[in-house]
Amino acid sequence: MADWHALYQALWKGRTFTDIEEAIQNELEDKLNHPRLRKKPEQKLVEAVRRVCASSLTDTEKVTLISVYLDHFEEIKQKH
């Protein structure tokens, strides 16, 4: 199975990450937007899955990356 860190970076070309795990958490929790403009994690998950599906990754790589997003989404839901 492909290294999901490399897959995530392939989606975000040109960006550098110090902690990819934290980047996914921030993305799903929409932490980079103002609190009044933030979307729910469910909405952000749908957007992420759409972006992954529209990418040029192979089907296996897409499934791998989507499963990572789902794992992080579950962690967020358990916290709240």
Q: pLDDT tens digits, the chain, 80 residues: what are they?
A: 448 888 999 888 888 888 899 999 999 999 999 999 999 999 999 999 999 999 999 999 999 999 999 999 999 999 98
Sign of CA dihedral 37, 40, 43, 47: positive
- Tell me, what's the pLDDT at 1? 40
Q: Tell me the residue length of the chain.
A: 80
Distance, CA of 42 to CA of 28 (rounded, Å): 8
- Would residue 65 be called left, alpha or beta, if left means φ above 0 and alpha means ψ between -120 and 50 degrees? alpha
Q: How many CA atoms does the CB half-sphere of 14 hold within 13 Å?
A: 0
Token pair listed for 11: 């989606």
